Amino acid sequence: MASSSIIKTIPIMANPNFNVCHKLELLKEEGRSGDPKHQEGEEEVLSYEFQEMLESLPKERGWRTRYLYLFQGFWCQSKEIQAIMSFQKHFKSFQNDVVLATIPKSGTTWLKALTYTVLNRHRFDPVSSTTDHPLLASNPHDLVPFFEYKLYANGDVPDLSGLASPRTFATHVPFGSLKDSIEEPGVKVVYLCRNPFDTFISSWHYINNIKSEAVSPVSLEEGFDLYCRGVIGFGPFWEHMLGYWKESLRTPEKVLFLRYEDLKQDMESNLKKLASFLGVPFTEEEEQKGVVHSISDLCSFENLKKLEVNKSSKSIKNFENRHLFRKGEVSDWINYLSPPQAERLSALVDDKLGGSGLTFRYN
């Protein structure tokens, strides 16, 4: 094996002013009605200039939209490109900002829940908050917003100055396209990495569940080939992982690199690591009180999956929250990949990540 949307108002923060200051110049105001094609995500009415720019980019068959475009060295949809361009142009980092980074389907929802609860545990005691904790009524994606899917989506430029410190955000953007926006001293980045085998299977299930009816399903074989060629949202996966891995080695005080499988195996030790990195370490009194264990229970996959808000509501675009919670297991890939496919992906991981020091557990 290889070695290698508007944010809901939440009570703990100063209410941010998410009124749009202005729109991304590249997007026409026309087409923002209820046009179903616009709502699908990639078929919105684009300005001539933006469309010209898109046509200049390499493109491949998309997973849940018609095309993926190679933008700044990674693959993404047209609407994501708009949001990323707006984010890169307008976002101003503050000291003590926290940015959670992942490639899709590698534990993003889980990381948001954990980080939110750790940072806000003195306002919402995870030991005694049995009915009023925000996680019980809000999906983690509503509590920790994405740059590209919420804050800067649709060309919006929100006023984030009213958010209480530490402001906490999330992104799927590779480090190379994020770094210039988070140069402010004191900004912390937490990256969660999942083994590429389970990441692929989780992505394949999720995307086929949420894709537009206008786009044909992606078969396991076709999706696997695209994945191994790097053609998946925010991929190639190896470049995404390596970007954050190398930065965590270069600046460990700025980037914390966590592994999904390690969290599954020993949640409490990794929670302590996370809290210390964020500058809010658990005290001995908290540990004796069971705070770490309570956070682990509150944010567990099993607990989050059973909550009503995660069964019926929608937090990212028009995608139902229930699709965010499938199995959350390590080694589910064994049930899907053939031996030749496993060998191909194993060889690819060795080739792309070998010698980097980045390794995974698959079982």
From residue 162, give the alpha-carbon distance in Å to each of 13, 99, 116, 117, 337. Answer: 9, 17, 18, 20, 47
Which is catalytic among the residues 172, 205, 240, 293?
172
CA 235 to CA 228: how far, in whole Å?
Answer: 10
| Rounded CA Rg of the chain | 20
CA 105 to CA 108: how far, in whole Å?
Answer: 7
Query: Any idea which residue has 């899917």 for tokens?
Result: 149
Asked about 172 being catalytic, the answer comes back as yes
Phi, psi of 52 (to 5 degrees): -60, -40
CA 52 to CA 50: how far, in whole Å?
Answer: 5
Phi, psi of 76 (to 5 degrees): -160, 170
Angle, alpha carbons 173-64-245 (nearest 5°): 25
**Residues assigned a catalytic role:** 172
